[in-house]
Amino acid sequence: MVRNKSFSAFAFILAAATALAGLPSQGMAASEAAPVHTQAPPAIRVITAERKELVETLSVNGTIVARNEAAAGTDLNGMIVTALNADIGDTVKKGDVLAVLDRSMLDTQLAQMQATRAQGEASVAQMEAQIADARIGVKQADEALQRADALKKKAVGTQAELDNAENAAASARAKTESAVKALGATTAQLAVIDAQIKGIEVQIAKTEVRAPADGLVLARAATVGDVVSPSSGPLFRMAIDAEFELEASVAETALPRLAVGMKAQISLPGVESTIAGTIRRIAPEVDMKSRLGLVRLALPKDAPARAGSFARGQIELVRRDGISVPISAVLYQGETPLLQVVRDGRVATTPVKLGTRAAGSVEIVSGVGEGEEVVARAGTFVADGDMVTPVRADTTGAIMP
C-alpha cells in the first residue's frame, strides 16, 4: 500500500513538471505571432508666429484732482457772513457773488469819512475867501505905501508915515502867504480823507465774496453767521473751468519712456466705459523716499470725474505692427530669449530678439519668421531635437494663451 501511494505522488509531480516545462515554449510562440507597434511622438500644442498690431501700455493708479484750483475768501477781519449764494457742486462764472458779509460797520466808517471830507471842503472854501481878502489887503497896503513914498519925496509926508506903510504892506503879504499855506494843508487833508474813503469802499467791495474765475465749486467752508478772518482760510475752493486730471504715480524707471501728449485710457469708478485722456504734464522731480514721479493725465471737460476719487489709467507707450507669439512661448537661457520652433516635426531651439510686449504677446524682432510654428508653452516636456506631433489650435478648438 505504501509503495502504491509513493508511486502515485511521483507520477503527479512528474506530470506537473512536464506541464510547467511546456509553458515557456507556448508564450514564445504567442509573442512571435503578435504584430510589432511603434510609439508615436508626443502631441504638443503649437502656435503660429503671426503679424498683428501690438500696443504696449503702462498701467498707472492715482487720484482725480482739479487741473487748476482757485480760492475765494476775504482778508477782512471780524466780518459776519450774512448770505451764501453758492454751494458745493454749483457752476459759477467769474465775478458771481458767492457770499455776502455784514458791511454795517464799514458803512458807518464811510459816512464819518464823508462828513469829515465835507468839513474839509468847507474849510477850503473859507481859506480861499481868506486868501482873496488877504490879496485885497496886500493891494491896498501897496497903494498906501506908494502914496507915503510920494509924499515923503515931496517933503509933505514924514518918515514915520512911510515906515508904517511899508510895515502894513509886509503884514498884508505875510497874511496872504499864511492863508495860501493853510489852504494847501487843508487840500492835502482832503486827499488823505479821499484815500481813506477809497480804502473803506474797497473793504465794502470785499464784503461781497466773488468768484475769481469760471469753475465748479468743490468745497465751502462758511455758514451764515460765521465770523470770518484771514486766518480762517478761503470760504470757497473751486476747480477752474471744471477741468479735472488723473494724478498718478509712476516708477522712476518708467518715466523716461513717457512723453507729453501720449494717449491713455482712464477707468473711473462706477463708469463702465473708459475715457480717453492724454499726458499733460510729467513732474521733473522724483520723490527720494518712494522713488516715484507724478504724471498728470488730462481728462475731457465732460468726463464724469469727481475730485478725490481713485482712478486707473493705461498709457499707450508703443503702437506698431510686428510678428508676435504668446509670452508663454518664450524660453530663457540666462538672459538670452529662445523659441522652440517646430520644423518637420522636430523641435529646434532658436535664439530670438524680443521687442514690444502687449496683452500677453511679445514682438519677435528677429530669429523667427512670420508663419513659423513654435511650441505654445516653451520647455514643456520637450527639448531641442525632440520629435513631436504638432497640434494646432484651429484643429483642437483650444484657446491659446
Q: Residue 70: what pLDDT? A: 94
Query: What's the CATH superfamily of 58-64+243-320?
Result: Efflux pump adaptor protein, beta barrel domain (2.40.30.170)
Q: Residue 388: what pLDDT? A: 82
Distance between CA atoms of 225 and 82, rounded to whole angstroms?
A: 6
Torsional class of 242: left (φ above 0), alpha (ψ -120 to 50), beta (otherwise): left
Question: Is the Cα dihedral 130, 131, 133, 134 positive or negative?
Answer: positive
Q: Residue 393: what pLDDT? A: 67
Q: Residue 204: what pLDDT? A: 92
Picking from 303, 312, 313, the residue whose alpha carbon sits closest to that of residue 242 is 303
pLDDT single digits (tens) 64-74: 999 999 999 98
Answer whether 0.85 is exceeded by the pTM: no
Pairing of strands 69-72, 91-92: unpaired
**Ranges in the chain, pLDDT < 70:** 1-38, 379-380, 393-401
Q: Residue 335: what pLDDT? A: 86
Q: Residue 401: what pLDDT? A: 46
Q: 3-state DSSP call for residue 162?
A: helix
CATH for 45-52+321-396 is 2.40.420.20
CATH for 74-101+208-238 is 2.40.50.100
Q: CB pairs under 8 A, 24+ apart, for 349-357? A: 349/383, 349/384, 354/330, 355/54, 355/322, 356/54, 356/56, 356/318, 356/320, 356/322, 357/56, 357/327
Picking from 385, 401, 392, the residue whose alpha carbon sits closest to that of residue 343 is 385
Distance from chain centroid for Cα 295: 7
Q: 3-state DSSP call for residue 308?
A: coil
Give residue for cell 506530470.
15
